[in-house]
Amino acid sequence: MESGFATTPFGRRPMTLALVKANTASRQIPQGSVVEKWQVYRWLCEGKSIVGVGDRALAVLSGLLTFYPDDQISEENGLMVFPSNAQLSLRAHGMADSTLRRNLAELVSCGLIIRRDSANGKRFARKGPGGAVVEAFGFSLAPLITRAAEFQQAADQVRADGRALRLMRERITLHRRDIHKLIEAAVEEDVPGDWGTLWKRFRAIVDAIPRRAGLSELEGVVAELVELHEAVNKMLESFTNAKNPSGNESHNERQQSDSNTDSAFVFEPAFEKSRAEAEPTSHPPEKPKGYPIGLVLRACPDIADYAVNGIGSWRDLMMTAAQVRGYLGVSPSAYEEACHVMGQEVAAIVIACILQRAQHINSAGGYLRVLTEKAKAGEFSVGPMLMAALKANGASARMTG
């Protein structure tokens, strides 16, 4: 039988007003109230962040529930469980005694169980005639009945927050994909505009997303991406309308607009005149075989960090450079044109040099297009660029061949 008085803890454990309140609430169970113990436990596991209970304490509660003989907790079936610490430890996966005591105290402080101690602190039950339990000392599970609705609401809230968080992350993923591909398409199609600035703004937003962001933080990220997405769309729509306002422009006029070789300076501006910029020469670019692969790697060691199995040949260098150009923000068309004009080996060396000085170059794509135009005019030599990289790294080498 449950006492009509608030019971105090055994020994040095203090009594608090919170425990008095929990005792009072446990005696106000509506007639006929029944809850399924494992359903309540699942609600607690889901809503633990709101209830304020830890994983280890829940593991102890799971062990306590195994001592309750019925699946349904009700006043009619009794509300007390009274296992010893040794028995409870076995059902809590062998938890150490000190840890067990600490987590039992947490369950009490969270108001999930109520401690009813005997005079000597032992847990046991007194049975009357016929074997019925007359009085029990241990832990009362009454709060699991009186607070069941609260635990269900906490679980529902956590699930709703989880759904909202997933939807917010999904929106971020969609905006990231659309903005990335729209800017890439604009660059590919030579659409005029300050795409470099938009790309930097996009990367700044994305790179600032915390790995464990909450809903409020992600809402701010979505707002920034929506604003950027709208700016990209407006620029593309403006270009489309200006290019073909009435559908009556001649094919020649459109072709003339698209073939502007200086458009690279608009959407991939080369903001820096690097010290590695090529020196004018009347001769075509030299063959890269005149430069040992080791010399290139000494001048530009950073590119080796991007090679899966290291760089031991020109083929390895070219494959790695093709991958690195994407990290630098160089469009496929810009790199393809550089390979066509300079040769694949020289283009790979140029990418390695640009990577080495990436922090000093505002637009890698625009810079590569400038060098490609110089190479077309026979005014580019990779040698000075390579030597400048060697000098910047404090190294010296003698060219062979």
Is there a single domain that holds both residue 110 and residue 225?
A: no
Is there a single domain that holds both residue 347 and residue 380?
A: yes
CA-to-CA distance for 366 and 186, rounded, in angstroms?
Answer: 14
Last residue of some domain: 242, 277, 302?
Answer: 242
For residues 81 and 68, is the Cβ–Cβ distance under 8 A? yes
Give the domain extent around 84.
Answer: 17-146
For the chain, give me the number of helices (H) and strands (E)? Answer: 18, 6
Q: How many CB atoms are located within 10 Å of the residue 122 CB?
A: 12
CATH number at residue 83: 1.10.10
Our CA dihedral for 188, 320, 285, 296, rounded to 10 degrees, sits at 140
List, as one string, the DSSP characters of 158-208. HHHHHHHHHHHHHHHHHHHHHHHHHHHHHHHTT--S-HHHHHHHHHHHHHT
Binning the chain into helix, strand and coil, the percentages to the nearest 5 are 60, 5, 35
The answer for residues whose C-beta is within 8 angstroms of residue 196's C-beta and 6 or more apart is 267, 268, 269, 362, 363, 365, 366
Retrieve residue 117's tokens: 């101690």
Domain count of the fold of the chain: 3
pLDDT of res. 377: 87
CA-to-CA distance for 58 and 50, rounded, in angstroms?
Answer: 14
pLDDT of res. 205: 92
In Å, what is the CA distance from 298 to each residue of 301, 344, 349, 396? 6, 20, 12, 9
Is there a single domain that holds both residue 214 and residue 316?
A: no
pLDDT of res. 41: 95
Retrieve residue 19's tokens: 């425990």
- Please indicate, yes or no, if residue 172 is contained in any of the structural domains: yes
In Å, what is the CA distance from 378 to each residue of 278, 290, 372, 388? 10, 18, 10, 20
pLDDT along the chain (401 residues), means of 10: 50 54 61 88 94 92 91 84 88 89 89 79 70 74 90 93 90 91 84 86 90 86 92 85 53 38 35 36 44 86 86 90 87 90 92 90 88 89 86 54 36
- Please indicate, yes or no, if residue 229 is contained in any of the structural domains: yes
Closest Cα to residue 126, out of 117, 115, 137?
A: 137
Is there a single domain that holds both residue 175 and residue 141?
A: no
pTM of the model: 0.49
Last residue of some domain: 225, 242, 259?
Answer: 242
Is there a single domain that holds both residue 314 and residue 353?
A: yes
pLDDT of res. 140: 87
CA-to-CA distance for 353 and 362, rounded, in angstroms?
Answer: 14
Residue 193's region, left for phi above 0, alpha for psi from -120 to 50, else beta, is left
Is there a single domain that holds both residue 295 and residue 325?
A: yes
- Please indicate, yes or no, if residue 260 is contained in any of the structural domains: no
- Please indicate, yes or no, if residue 179 is contained in any of the structural domains: yes
For residues 179 and 222, is the Cβ–Cβ distance under 8 A? no
Last residue of some domain: 113, 146, 179?
Answer: 146
Q: What's the one-letter identity of residue 329?
A: G
Retrieve residue 121's tokens: 């602190």
- Please indicate, yes or no, if residue 262 is contained in any of the structural domains: no
- Please indicate, yes or no, if residue 5 is contained in any of the structural domains: no
Is there a single domain that holds both residue 100 and residue 169?
A: no
In Å, what is the CA distance from 179 to each residue of 168, 170, 195, 264? 16, 14, 11, 20
Is there a single domain that holds both residue 316 and residue 235?
A: no
Q: What's the one-letter identity of residue 233?
A: N
Is there a single domain that holds both residue 287 and residue 329?
A: yes
